[in-house]
């Protein structure tokens, strides 16, 4: 239940900042043509993880998540070494969820078997769309068939938990193309267990933003993107999928992303690798962004973080609402809130709860706060209310 109590097992995030090329819409901390650095980077991440208990002791951990970038660029032996480093430094739960994000390019059965042997038990595939024009607009280097082949390879290797990312709202996307993406992913013979559906955000400074500014690409309007979201809610609802978080659906409750649930429940997490964040206790830290700087800092025995800040009680309370309300079925419960924050929801938000309920944006019965469907369409606006002064 959201939020998690203080001291609950942490999630471990490991950032892999390498990509074969940079997609024009991407503003993640990722770099092309840096693959020669991968061996030194894996060494540095392992060293950084090994230093962790010296600071915090051996904390219990529930999940590991390799995100990127393209973690599947790292050989399976490197992934195994990083997982072993986590096992040596954390009290990793038996049956811990260990996820790796992968691009469909060149994801073959042999590599998948290596990942399973390393301990990875959940794959998250960046499919984005099955539409060829969409793949080119998004600058992706794979074809729709590669997604199918990758999922077949993952299943043949033995992966029992496969997630797939799709993007909607890309320039030129028609509603029937989006419907086709959803129908196609649901009809896959090898099947997927979890779907993350992201609305394309055209971030300033990206090549795609420049193409939009020059009139080369025309983005979908907010209303059109909202229509895409409604289509997803309808199609996946009819197919019996659980819409458990604003952008995430699971085939059954067992397939909800445990690592991301930990974030949405405002849990603690340790982050390793370039640009990774930590949140332990009342401190939040961010590692050096540049892979070479991160590697040099760790090799030189220096702090891997470039920034650190205190998270005040008030900010933590606001973040509990911003994150927890994304959980559409769970929301934020009064009981969990009191255990975590030693205050009641009504005392903490005397104005916001009644006002948002009166506008039909949340359901608030004194025991639990949930976004309404309308509230979920305006989630950013609703959540921002909890950062205002009372
Ligand atoms: S593959 Fe993902 S992380 Fe890499 S550039 Fe493309 S969008 Fe960014």
pLDDT for the residue numbered 136: 96
Query: Kind of pairing, strands 10-16 and 60-68?
Result: parallel
Q: Is the minimum distance from the CB of 19 to ligand 1 under 6 angstroms?
A: yes
The answer to whether position 308 is within a domain reads no
Ligand 1 probe mutation, 68, 71, 202, most atoms within 8 A of CB? 68
> How far does residue 130's CA lie from ligand 1's centre (Å)?
17
Tell me, yes or no, whether 69 and 170 share the same domain: yes
Tell me, yes or no, whether 248 and 343 share the same domain: no
pLDDT for the residue numbered 204: 94
Tell me, yes or no, whether 342 and 227 share the same domain: no
Q: What percent of the chain has pLDDT over 70?
A: 99
Q: Is the minimum distance from the CB of 56 to ligand 1 under 6 angstroms?
A: no
Residue 223: exposure state from Cβ atoms within 10 A (0-12, 13-18, ≥19): exposed
pLDDT for the residue numbered 386: 94
Tell me, yes or no, whether 202 and 90 share the same domain: yes
Domain boundary residue among 264, 288, 306? Answer: 264
Measure the CA dihedral 233/235/240/246, to 10°. -20
Instruction: Please list the alpha-helical segments (H only) found in 188-290.
Output: 207-213, 222-238, 258-264
Q: What is the domain range of residue 342?
A: 329-387
In degrees and rounded to multiples of 5, residue 255 shows phi and psi of: -100, 5
Domain boundary residue among 220, 241, 264? Answer: 264
For residue 374, CA distances in Å to 6, 222, 236, 377 come to 32, 15, 18, 5
Tell me, yes or no, whether 244 and 382 share the same domain: no
Q: Is the minimum distance from the CB of 17 to ligand 1 under 6 angstroms?
A: no
CA angle 27, 33, 38 (to 5 degrees): 95
CATH no. for residue 174? 3.20.20.70
Tell me, yes or no, whether 108 and 218 share the same domain: yes
Tell me, yes or no, whether 258 and 341 share the same domain: no
> How far does residue 142's CA lie from ligand 1's centre (Å)?
12
Domain boundary residue among 264, 299, 314? Answer: 264
**Could you give the number of structural domains in the chain?**
2
Q: Determine the Cα–Cα distance for residues 250 and 186; give it in Å rounded to an integer.
A: 12
**In the beta sheet, which residues pair with residue 309?**
284
Q: Is the minimum distance from the CB of 29 to ligand 1 under 6 angstroms?
A: no
CA angle 286, 332, 263 (to 5 degrees): 25
The answer to whether position 284 is within a domain reads no
Atom 5 (ligand 1) nearest CA: 22
Tell me, yes or no, whether 259 and 342 share the same domain: no
pLDDT for the residue numbered 388: 76
* Residue 353 near residue 381 (C-beta atoms within 8 A): no
pLDDT for the residue numbered 390: 57
Tell me, yes or no, whether 32 and 140 share the same domain: yes
pLDDT for the residue numbered 1: 84
Question: Can you list the residues of the chain whose pLDDT is less than 50?
Answer: none
pLDDT for the residue numbered 225: 94
**What atom in ligand 1 is closest to the CA of residue 30?**
3
Tell me, yes or no, whether 235 and 362 share the same domain: no
Tell me, yes or no, whether 84 and 196 share the same domain: yes
Q: Is the minimum distance from the CB of 128 to ligand 1 under 6 angstroms?
A: no
Q: What percent of the chain has pLDDT over 90?
A: 95
């Amino acid at each position: 239940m959201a939020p998690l109590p203080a001291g609950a097992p942490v999630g471990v995030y490991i950032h892999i900042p390498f990509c074969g090329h940079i997609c024009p819409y991407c503003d993640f901390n990722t770099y092309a043509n840096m693959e020669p650095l991968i061996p030194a980077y894996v060494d540095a991440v392992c060293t950084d993880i090994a230093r962790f208990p010296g600071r915090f002791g051996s904390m219990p951990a529930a999940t590991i998540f390799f995100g990127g970038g393209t973690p599947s660029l790292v050989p399976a032996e490197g992934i195994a070494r990083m997982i072993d480093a986590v096992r040596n430094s954390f009290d990793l739960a038996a049956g811990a969820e260990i996820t790796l994000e992968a691009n469909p390019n060149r994801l073959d059965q042999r590599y998948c078997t290596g990942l399973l042997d390393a301990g990875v038990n959940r794959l998250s595939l960046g499919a984005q769309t099955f539409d060829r024009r969409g793949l080119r607009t998004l600058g992706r280097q794979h074809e729709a068939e590669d997604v199918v082949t990758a999922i077949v390879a993952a299943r043949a290797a033995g992966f029992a938990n496969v997630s797939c990312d799709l993007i909607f709202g890309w320039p030129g996307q028609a509603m029937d193309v989006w419907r086709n993406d959803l129908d196609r992913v649901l009809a896959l013979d090898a099947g997927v267990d979890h779907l993350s559906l992201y609305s394309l955000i055209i971030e300033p400074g990206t090549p795609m933003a420049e193409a939009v500014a020059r009139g080369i690409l025309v983005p979908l309007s907010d209303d059109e993107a909202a229509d895409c979201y409604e289509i997803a809610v309808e199609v996946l609802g009819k197919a019996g999928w659980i819409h458990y978080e604003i952008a995430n659906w699971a085939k059954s409750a067992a397939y909800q992303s445990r690592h991301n649930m930990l974030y949405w429940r405002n849990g603690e997490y340790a982050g390793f690798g370039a640009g990774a964040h930590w949140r332990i206790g009342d401190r939040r830290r961010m590692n050096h962004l540049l892979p070479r700087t991160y590697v040099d800092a760790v090799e030189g025995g220096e702090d891997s973080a470039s920034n650190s800040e205190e998270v005040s009680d008030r900010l933590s309370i606001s973040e509990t609402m911003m994150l927890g309300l994304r959980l559409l079925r769970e929301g934020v419960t009064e009981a969990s809130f009191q255990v975590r924050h030693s205050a009641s929801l009504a005392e903490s938000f005397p104005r916001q709860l009644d006002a948002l309920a009166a506008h039909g944006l949340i359901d608030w019965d004194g025991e639990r706060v949930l976004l309404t469907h309308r509230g979920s369409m305006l989630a950013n606006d609703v959540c921002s209310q909890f950062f205002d002064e009372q």
